[in-house]
Amino acid sequence: MIPDTCSCGKGRLKKGTTDFTVRVEGEIVIIRDVPAYVCDSCSEAYFSIETSRKIDEIMREFRAGRLLSKPLRAGEIELKMSAST
């Protein structure tokens, strides 16, 4: 069951879509247009059980090398902080 309000931002949840992004062994995987309940205040996304299962299935297929993914242009920047911060 999906709650009515966000646990982080206390905003209202509305049906929408989001991108699911995860790092897998040095690669970034983005699943686009994932159905979700999205907070109208902080944009936190909540997934239904069915959507979570589909994401798990896609990730199993990706790890097994059975999915063709298209390369994305991206830059990676590492946040380095001084010892005093």
Q: What is the CATH number of the domain that holds 30?
A: 3.10.20.860
Give domain status of residue 7, yes or no: no
Give domain status of residue 8, yes or no: no
pLDDT tens-digit series, residues 18-69? 999 998 888 889 999 999 999 999 999 999 999 999 999 999 999 998 988 8
Bin 7: left if φ > 0, else alpha if -120 < ψ < 50, else beta: alpha
Give domain status of residue 32, yes or no: yes
pLDDT confidence of residue 3? 77
Give domain status of residue 22, yes or no: yes
pLDDT confidence of residue 62? 92
Give domain status of residue 48, yes or no: yes
Nearest alpha carbon to residue 4 among 35, 34, 38: 38
Structural domain boundaries, residue 48: 13-63
Give domain status of residue 43, yes or no: yes
Give domain status of residue 26, yes or no: yes
Give domain status of residue 31, yes or no: yes
